[in-house]
Amino acid sequence: MSKKVILITGASSGMGKETAKALIQEGHTVYTVARRIDHMQDLKNMGGYPIQMDVTNENDIQNVVDTIIKHESKIDVLWNNAGYGLYGAVEDIPVDEARKQFEVNLFGLATITQKVVPYMRQAKSGTIINTSSMGGKMYTPMGAWYHASKHAVEGFSDCLRLELQEFNIKVVVLEPGVIATEFGEVMLKNISQFSSKGAYSSLTNQLVTATKKMYDKGQGSKPTVISKTVSKIVNETKPKTRYRVGLWAKPMVWMRIYLGDKLFDKIIMSQLS
């Protein structure tokens, strides 16, 4: 197994942190970035290289890429993992909040990709992993902006894959299902902020109850299912274009593709009753 220089965004918790630990233990050179650098001290102690970075700040991104190139002369793997879920009714969420969702989940991802690709192109080698979600292929009520951003990541990644083919740069889409991370907490905080009162309060309460029940029961898959998958992608010479892993990911996407809109709508709404 060849040792690689890896850059991971959104590595202060959850999937990003667990995977960074695994890749460091495998002997790779792992640079981790997030706004909360104090949450990555354990990665530094293990031999990783944490750097503070806001994925929506272009100067931060440029500094990180320049730092890695200065010390390593290359970036073999970029894992665009930073993201969050904005939930609430379309009518209730201010468009400025929706813009922030896209700034993090799509435009931040695109900016760092633009800055890393020239080095991969020169090396005629590289792997870019973009974290989408099973939500990039299906939908739930109150998640319009989150799902829109992840659908966008899917389309962006497919086009990028074709553009980078001739330079031997692989683009892989990761589509996690329900993973036991902070995602649920952030989602519940958002939906309570925007739609707990008013016309959509009933639907909001149903969604909050169903989500809490799922996370309280510990139904989400452990982040290790992601770390094992990313390790496989990093170490494969010919990875697949998509990896769908974690609770509900495969069955939910299958139902979305094959059952049609109206039946899928019924299935989704039945989970809230």
12 is an active site residue:
yes
Q: Which two tokens stand for residue 104?
A: 């993090």
Per annotation, catalytic residue among 21, 87, 132, 137:
132
Q: Which two tokens stand for residue 119?
A: 């080095």
Per annotation, catalytic residue among 4, 137, 150, 170:
150
Per annotation, catalytic residue among 146, 200, 215, 243:
146
CB of 40 closer than 8 Å to CB of 50 = yes
* 159 CB-near residues (< 8 Å, 6+ apart): none
146 is an active site residue:
yes
CA 244 to mean position of chain CA atoms: 12
Q: Give me the helices (H) in the chain, please.
A: 14-25, 41-46, 58-72, 95-102, 109-123, 144-164, 183-195, 201-216, 224-235, 249-258, 261-270
150 is an active site residue:
yes
Length of the chain: 273
CA–CA distance, 147 with 165 (Å, rounded to integer): 27
Q: Which two tokens stand for residue 7?
A: 């850059």
Per annotation, catalytic residue among 4, 12, 21, 157:
12
227 is an active site residue:
no
Active site residues: 12, 132, 146, 150
